[in-house]
Amino acid sequence: MAESGLAFCAAMAAAAAIPAIAQADAQPAALQDRRAYIDPDARTSDDPVRIPLRTTAANGPELVIRGGRVFDAVDNVARPATVVISGNRIRAILPPHSVDWSSDAQIIDATGKTVMPGLIDLHTHVTYPDRNEPIDEQDSEGAGTLRGQRNLRHFLEYGFTSVRDLNGVSNAPFLLSSWSAANAIPAPRVFAAGWIITGTGGHATERPITPSHGPKFAKEVDGPDAWRAMVRKAFKEGASVIKIASHFSADEVRAAIDEAHLLGLKVTCDCETIYTDLAVDAGIDMIEHPLPKSEAAIAKMARARIAAVPTLQVYQNLLDRAGGFYGSTSRRFTMTSQGNFDQFKKMKAAGIVMGIGTDTIGEASMMAPNSYIAELKWFVRGGYSTADALKAATIVNARLLDMGDKLGSLEPGKLADVIIVDGRPDENLDDLARVNDVIKDGIHYIADGQLVVPRHMPLPLVKPSPPADVK
């Protein structure tokens, strides 16, 4: 005990020397090595894989948001300013008196409102079945894709411009990701893991088997070669992140992380107790949920800059309601809601960077944004200022996605994911329920709280052939 206590204190001292926000930029060496071959000014796909693309000129009128107070997630204090969007990028943040925009610009009046970066939820499952859904639709890729589209629209309406989806049915999460990236559906950006990778009988595959415990959701694989192969398969299908879950051997988790990093992807883990130690020793990038972990693991996480996505509110609710995990083979520990919150406080005290995720499952997306606001309030209860909680929701989450250079703050050159809130969420988190306007990828999807889908413009016939004399 004394030894681990010493290590814990040493980690706290080491972590204190590094600003918490900066730590989230830490990248595995392999990811940095891969990026070194791409010109930082080159246009690339807007996901962690960063495929070089041909540059295209911005078209359409500029979008100007004026009159509001801007919380840019760089400073902790909002200030009067004007945000100018050109194409899908923020071109400028102007002082209030400046009118430096094109004459045909569209103006949005944000007087009395707060303009801020779009919200990011780092832990969703938008394709999970709803309760009472017909059994044959629960693990259907088609039904999962439709559920996901419905749930993503709810998220978008309340200011979420990115979600990280950490397990779903078949390839539905990847389909939603690519359709959203092309703006073919109104949805936040979807950074999809696709499926959980776990050992046979591991978390999310345990008995009693339900459709969402079946092979279309979690991939049970055994042996380091099989774990490596499953990471490659997720990459092939379009993964932006790899999600693993206990249980696994040291060899298996090392193989998965090594392969993911070579491919340019981060790895996150739903793990607890001894599996957290194995994942941390293998170089995992972040850990989901508070769940029991050793003080030595917390100290190592701080030292190695391994982040956490605590998903506090859902576990607080679950543990308050049920009193613990019972009858679970992958959650073989006892824990109370107080113990859960204590884990959060220990991680914060150690200087571990933490992101905001709700662990929303299926129809729970109907609760958006209430569960998200509750999560932010738990962060404040655990010692964050309101402004720092909003930064966790935006710029820190963007960095944890490996998208900190493109998303998460209002700065020139960043992707135009911008929301307008009727209130002051940097002073009162409840105001986040009053999102008026949502711009994602430069497109004004939500105007005055309503989804706006421009009418499809018919393409001309390839070879006009109607009789010229018929009117």
Q: How far is the CB of 196 from Zn ion (least distance, A)?
A: 9
Q: How far is the CB of 309 from Zn ion (least distance, A)?
A: 9
Q: Judge whether 266 and 201 are in contact, CB under 8 Å.
A: no
Angle at 60 between CA 54 and CA 61, to 5 degrees: 135
Pick between residue 196 and residue 410 the one whose CB is nearest to Zn ion. Answer: 196
- Beta strands 106-109 and 63-66 are parallel
Q: Which pair of structure tokens corresponds to residue 430?
A: 């409840």
Q: How far is the CB of 107 from Zn ion (least distance, A)?
A: 41
Q: Determine, following the binding rule CB under 5 A, whether residue 272 of this chain makes contact with Zn ion.
A: no
Q: Report the residue closest to Zn ion, judged by CB.
A: 359
Cα–Cα dist 420/423, whole Å: 9
Pick between residue 72 and residue 270 the one whose CB is nearest to Zn ion. Answer: 270
107 three-state secondary structure: strand
Pick between residue 123 and residue 300 the one whose CB is nearest to Zn ion. Answer: 123
Contacting range for Zn ion; rule: CB under 5 A; set: 110-118, 210-218, 357-365, 428-436: 357-365
Q: How far is the CB of 168 from Zn ion (least distance, A)?
A: 10
Pick between residue 242 and residue 302 the one whose CB is nearest to Zn ion. Answer: 242
Pick between residue 366 and residue 451 the one whose CB is nearest to Zn ion. Answer: 366
Residue entry with tokens 């002051």: 424
Q: How far is the CB of 37 from Zn ion (least distance, A)?
A: 34
Q: How far is the CB of 188 from Zn ion (least distance, A)?
A: 17
Q: In this structure, which amino acid lies at residue 384?
A: Y
* CA dihedral sign, ordered 140, 142, 146, 151: positive
Q: Judge whether 348 and 409 are in contact, CB under 8 Å.
A: no
Region 67-126 residues binding Zn ion, contact defined as CB under 5 A: none
Contacting range for Zn ion; rule: CB under 5 A; set: 12-20, 210-218, 356-364, 453-461: 356-364
* Contact partners, residue 362, CB within 8 Å, separation at least 6: 125, 128, 129, 130, 131, 147, 151
Pick between residue 62 and residue 359 the one whose CB is nearest to Zn ion. Answer: 359
Pick between residue 67 and residue 214 the one whose CB is nearest to Zn ion. Answer: 214
Contacting range for Zn ion; rule: CB under 5 A; set: 16-24, 195-203, 214-222, 353-361: 353-361
Residue 249 DSSP label: -
Strands, sheet with 307-309, edge to edge from the N-terminal-most edge strand: 218-220, 196-198, 242-245, 267-270, 286-288, 307-309
Pick between residue 359 and residue 375 the one whose CB is nearest to Zn ion. Answer: 359
Pick between residue 101 and residue 378 the one whose CB is nearest to Zn ion. Answer: 378
Q: How many residues bind Zn ion (CB under 5 A)?
A: 1
Pick between residue 259 and residue 359 the one whose CB is nearest to Zn ion. Answer: 359
Contacting range for Zn ion; rule: CB under 5 A; set: 31-39, 54-62, 233-241, 358-366: 358-366
- Residues 62, 165, 285, 359: which binds Zn ion (CB under 5 A)? 359
Long-range contact set of residues 228-235: C-beta below 8 Å, sequence gap at least 24: 228/255, 228/256, 228/258, 228/259, 230/197, 230/256, 231/197, 231/256, 231/259, 231/260, 231/263, 231/265, 232/259, 232/263, 234/193, 234/194, 234/195, 234/197, 235/49, 235/260, 235/263, 235/265
Helix 370-381, helix 312-322: angle, nearest 10: 90
Cα–Cα dist 109/67, whole Å: 6
Cα–Cα dist 441/362, whole Å: 25
Contacting range for Zn ion; rule: CB under 5 A; set: 15-23, 63-71, 259-267, 355-363: 355-363
Q: How far is the CB of 16 from Zn ion (least distance, A)?
A: 31
Q: How far is the CB of 444 from Zn ion (least distance, A)?
A: 31
Q: How far is the CB of 163 from Zn ion (least distance, A)?
A: 12
Q: How far is the CB of 359 from Zn ion (least distance, A)?
A: 4
Tell me the residue ranges of DSSP E strands in 11-61.
Answer: none
Interacting residues with Zn ion (CB under 5 A): 359
